[in-house]
Structure 1
Amino acid sequence: MKNKNGDIWLDDQGKKIQAHGGMILKHENMYYWYGENKEGPNVKSATDGRKVDFIGISCYSSSNLRDWHYEGLVLEASNDPSNPLYRDKVVERPKVVYSKWTKEFVLWFHYDHDDYWIAASGVATSKTPTGSFELNKIFKPNRKDSRDFTIFEDEDKFYLVHSSDFNKTMYISELTDDLTDVTGLYTKILVDQEREAPAVFKKNGMYFMVTSGTTGWEPNAALYSRSNHLFTPHKLIDNPCEGQDYRYTFHGQFNYAFEVKGNVYIMIDHWKPDNLRDSGYSILPVEIIGKKKRDLRIKWTEEPFGGELV
């Protein structure tokens, strides 16, 4: 199934892929795409009415990153109002990692009520990548509010990277070996810069982070930062985007970075706030440029992965 960047993508059955705000995990010889299922209609919320009741977290599998097969909901909403996963709650930006110590898959997500005052992290676990995942807990990591986030692996250690202090600051928190909690070791970066939607990767010994401004559903200019060490201050550099509408991140928001065959790619959500189920996707190649290989360039391409995958 051939999909184009910016559009809503279709799976191998010709149905719309519902995996928004998500990520792609490689395990053994398969890729798994997890994301928010927003198949329902927009409903009123305590903020701006741009919300879909929680349905579940979708999983799609692929052997080639082009053809995606729907595996079902790995975490489902409850019809019980007393359940923390009741359908009126907010469950966003799922990230799944694998613990080689426990042999379990661990799902992290941003958990909230529709007024976004809870600002917590949710954790669920499964023995298989296609679930189902069982809720482990909902908590505030290191007693800090946790909003947009990602999970980043560095030399067999994993870190929660999340917007906090009401989106004023980004925190980096080390995870336990079973990946279900934080160890208590953490630092804060980009203090008072009001950045969200972090996508993190390491290349040529340098840590890069691409983030979005905090303008709600409205697209803005992405910025990247870098540091020689994950836990030392990260310096904001510039907008890495090139192409039409680069000042608006191609009318999208970067979400997750991952590597395939030594190349880095970044996922974009093209949110349609008034009709969230038709929000589109893009996956673009990331170039490391400059004499010292310390700068980023992300060009717009109509073909996913820049047409690089064969």
Structure 2
Amino acid sequence: MVGGYKLHGAAVTIPPNGYTYSDTGMFQDTDGSWYILTSADHNIVQINKLNSDGSIGARASQLAAGAYEAPGILKVSGTYYLIVSGKTGWRSNPNKVFSAPSIAGPWTGPSNIAPEAEKTYNSQNTFELTIAGSQATTYIYMGDSWDSKGGPNSNHVWLPIKVDGSKKTLTLDWHAMWKVDVKTGVVSFPKAGRRYEVADAEVIGKRGVVGKGLLR
């Protein structure tokens, strides 16, 4: 773990154009298919399906609308929402949302996921978590809140996502404290109580659990 790593073989690229890539994300569709999301060469966000052996397969779609990275996808009622960040180094920026009727596109947008001046509450998208509860389905934005150098003082911003299916938009409101019951999927906003750090969470399956079955 302390180092001494060596490069073996050629650099991994993504088809069909052999782009190098970075800032990867993952998305599993409702049919079980997995996709890798990348910020590829030439500022292109590209989505490729993974083969059954885990290798990178054919391109499903791409977004060439600007200089974006940190892609993440969630699917709600048949609509795909692609969340991306601008490229501003360790500095936060207003993350954007595109929508499409299919993983193949076409992608329309962008819209802001939060008020532009808030710069996504000083965070950058990293993953969208879906909690399908017995009473509600909740979608959670999981963002990285970087310090000026991407170092150990960096933190996380997790917030519930509001979905407007008619406008095809996603919205984040700031909440200093909130919780979701991972069994029911119901979100509530306590006025006072203990604040839990992400490091205190216990992960069970695909659910993050804090305290008595609550993500805070």
TM-score where L is the length of structure 2? 0.73
- Aligned with 1:260 (options 131, 139, 151): 131
**Which whole-Å CA distance do the structure 1 matches of 2:150 and 2:50 have between them?**
36
Unaligned runs of 5+ in 2: 182-213
* 4+ runs deviating over 3 angstroms: none
- Paired with 2:59 and 2:168, the residues of 1 have a C-alpha distance of 25
Distance change (3 Å), C-alpha of 1:195 and 1:300: same
**Is 1:194 matched up with 2:67?**
yes
- Separation in 2, partners of 1:275, 1:232: 33
- Structure 1 residue 158, shift from structure 2 partner: 0.5
Q: Could you tell me whether the CA contact under 8 Å between 1:169 and 1:188 is conserved in 2?
A: no
Structure 1 residues 277, 156: closer, same or farther in 2, change over 3 A?
Answer: same
Deviations 1:33-65 (A, max 9, x none): xxxxxxxxxxxxxxxxxxxxxxxxxxxxxxxxx
| Cα distance in structure 2, aligned partners of 1:195 and 1:276 | 22
The residue type equivalent to 2:36 in the other structure is: L
Residue 274 to residue 159, structure 1, CA distance change in 2 (3 Å): closer
Task: Indicate how the Cα distance of structure 1 residues 189 and 141 shifts in structure 2: closer, same or farther if over 3 A, else same.
Answer: closer
- Give the corresponding residue for 2:4: 80
Unmatched runs of 5 consecutive residues or more in structure 1: 1-76, 86-135
What is the distance in 2 between the residues matched to 1:198 and 1:211? 5
The alignment of Structure 1 onto Structure 2 pairs a total of residues equal to 175
Which residue of structure 1 aligns with residue 157 of structure 2?
A: 282
Q: Larger deviation: 205-214 or 191-200?
A: 191-200
Q: 1:170 aligns with which of 37, 45, 48?
A: 45
1:150 aligns with 2:25: yes
Matches within 5 A, 1:50-89: 77-80=1-4, 83-84=6-7
Aligned residues of 2:123 and 2:143 also touching (Cα < 8 A) = yes
Of residues 172, 190, 197, the one that matches 1:298 is 172
DSSP-derived class of the 2:83 partner: strand
Computed over aligned residues only, the root mean square deviation of the Cα atoms, in angstroms, reads 2.4
SS of 1:197's equivalent in the other structure is strand
Q: Give, in angstroms, the shift of residue 225 of structure 1.
A: 0.3
Q: Which whole-Å CA distance do the structure 2 matches of 1:224 and 1:164 have between them?
A: 18
TM-score between the two structures when normalised by the length of structure 1: 0.52
Give the whole-Å Cα distance in 1 for the aligned partners of 2:44 and 2:91.
Answer: 20
- Percent of pairs with identical residues: 21
Match of 2:121 among 250, 253, 276: 250
C-alpha spacing 1:299/1:174, structure 2 compared with 1 (3 Å): same
Q: Deviations over 1:166-191 (max 9, x none)?
A: 4x211111101132x112x1044221
Q: Check conservation: 1:196, 1:213, Cα contact below 8 A.
A: yes
Highest RCO, 1 vs 2 (Cα 8 Å, sep ≥ 6): 1
Q: 2: distance between equivalents of 1:162 and 1:220? A: 19
